[in-house]
């Protein structure tokens, strides 16, 4: 009986020892797992930090590239917009010039008719009642023609007494004049017209040359005579 109790005690101690050993093994395994987890976590954190740095660096480089592309596209847009605006203005000017050219060509063909009307008006002197009625009809027709020209922007030039301008006038004759100085217009031979401020037809004019040679010679002789008289008076005073 005593031996059996001793054996039981030994078995119990052995069991307790085995349990303690197993517990220690379990704790050791848990510590090893924890250490592995910590090491893995540190490695993972290191990898994540490096990847984050690379991602930030790549993002900054991409952002800088996008900013450069944006600036390039912005400059291109500004140039294209300016070119288009210039093109639009140029097209508008070309259309206006073409319109004026077409209108000018048509109106230039009408101006000789207006000249004939004006010549006829100056020459006609109606005396009878029938001639006067015809003349009034003629005047109404002439007025309608002039109104059409005004509606198209045509305006006659007023040149008599104005200084000669080769951009507006064409000198056909030059003659002396006592009333006007040199290069001033004495007479209008054919009326000139403007269209929207531009010359539609130059005015044919007669231009002054200033005082004539005869008058100039008389003035010179007069000055000479007056000079001689003054000289004689001065001589008599000296005597």
pLDDT at 221: 47
pTM, full prediction: 0.52
pLDDT in tens, 14-54: 555 555 555 555 556 556 666 555 665 665 666 677 777 77
pLDDT in tens, 97-114: 887 788 888 888 888 888
pLDDT at 216: 44
The number of angstroms, rounded, from the C-alpha of 196 to the middle of its chain's C-alpha atoms is: 20
166's CB contacts (< 8 A; 6+ apart) are none
pLDDT at 203: 92
Token pair for residue 75? 């400059």
pLDDT classification of 219: cutoffs 50, 70, 90? very low
pLDDT in tens, 142-192: 888 888 888 888 889 999 989 999 999 999 999 998 888 888 999 999 999
Better-scored residue on pLDDT, 155 or 228 = 155
Alpha carbon distances (Å) from 203 to 101, 105, 106: 19, 17, 18
Better-scored residue on pLDDT, 135 or 191 = 191
Which residue, chain included where needed, has tokens 């976590």? 41
Cβ pair 207, 186 in contact under 8 A: yes
pLDDT classification of 235: cutoffs 50, 70, 90? very low
Mean pLDDT score of the chain, rounded to an integer? Answer: 75
pLDDT at 233: 46
Please say if the pLDDT value at position 220 is more than 60. no
pLDDT at 2: 45
pLDDT at 118: 82
pLDDT at 206: 93
pLDDT at 164: 92
Q: How many angstroms separate the most distant Cα atoms in the chain?
A: 199
What DSSP character marks residue 192?
-
CB atoms within 10 A of CB 187: 15
- What's the CA gap between 194 and 196, in Å, rounded? 6
């Amino acid at each position: 009986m005593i031996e059996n109790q001793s054996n039981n005690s030994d078995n119990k101690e052995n069991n307790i020892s085995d349990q303690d050993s197993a517990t220690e093994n379990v704790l050791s395994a848990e510590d090893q797992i924890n250490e592995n987890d910590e090491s893995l976590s540190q490695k993972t954190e290191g990898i994540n930090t490096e990847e984050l740095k690379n991602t930030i660096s790549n993002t900054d480089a991409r952002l800088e590239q996008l900013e450069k592309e944006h600036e390039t596209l912005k400059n291109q847009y500004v140039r294209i917009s300016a070119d288009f605006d210039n093109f639009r203005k140029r097209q508008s000017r070309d259309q206006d010039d073409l319109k004026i050219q077409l209108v000018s060509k048509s109106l230039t063909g009408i101006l000789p008719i207006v000249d004939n009307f004006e010549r006829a008006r100056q020459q006609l002197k109606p005396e009878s009642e029938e001639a006067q009625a015809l003349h009034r009809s003629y005047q109404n027709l002439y007025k309608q023609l002039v109104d059409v020209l005004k509606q198209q922007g045509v305006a006659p030039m007023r040149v008599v007494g104005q200084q000669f301008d080769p951009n507006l006038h064409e000198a056909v004759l030059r003659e002396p004049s006592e009333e006007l100085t040199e290069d001033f217009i004495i007479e209008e031979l054919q009326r000139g017209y403007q269209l929207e401020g531009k010359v539609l037809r130059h005015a044919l004019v007669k231009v002054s040359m200033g005082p004539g040679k005869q008058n100039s010679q008389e003035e010179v002789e007069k000055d000479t005579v007056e000079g001689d008289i003054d000289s004689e008076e001065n001589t008599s005073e000296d005597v």
